[in-house]
């Protein structure tokens, strides 16, 4: 999301879309599960 390539408004729209889109699983599901497990264990 380089500032020289896209404007601030478009960058914000892309990030909002990314954050509001549900995770579809797929080939990265195991990795995401591991990360979430670590986050749960070390949450303060």
Q: Is residue 2 part of a domain?
A: no
Which band of pLDDT confidence, cut at 50, 70 and 90, is reported for residue 44?
A: confident
Task: Examine residue 15 and state whether it is found in any structural domain, yes or no.
Answer: yes
Residue 14 in any domain: the answer is yes
Does residue 13 lie in a domain region? yes
**27, 18 contact by CB (below 8 A):** no
Residue 35 within any structural domain of the chain: yes
Q: What is the mean pLDDT of residues 32-42?
A: 96
Mean pLDDT taken over the chain: 93
- pLDDT-derived band at 28 (thresholds 50, 70, 90) equals very high
Q: Whole domain around residue 34: which residue ranges? A: 8-41
Report if residue 21 sits inside a domain. yes
Across 23-43, average pLDDT: 95
Is position 25 within any domain?
Answer: yes
Q: Are 11 and 1 in contact (CB under 8 A)?
A: yes
As for how many domains the chain has, the answer is 1
């Amino acid at each position: 999301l380089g500032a020289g390539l896209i404007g601030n408004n478009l960058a914000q729209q892309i990030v909002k879309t990314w954050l509001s889109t549900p995770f579809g699983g797929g080939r990265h599901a195991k990795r995401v599960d591991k990360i979430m497990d670590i986050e749960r264990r070390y949450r303060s």
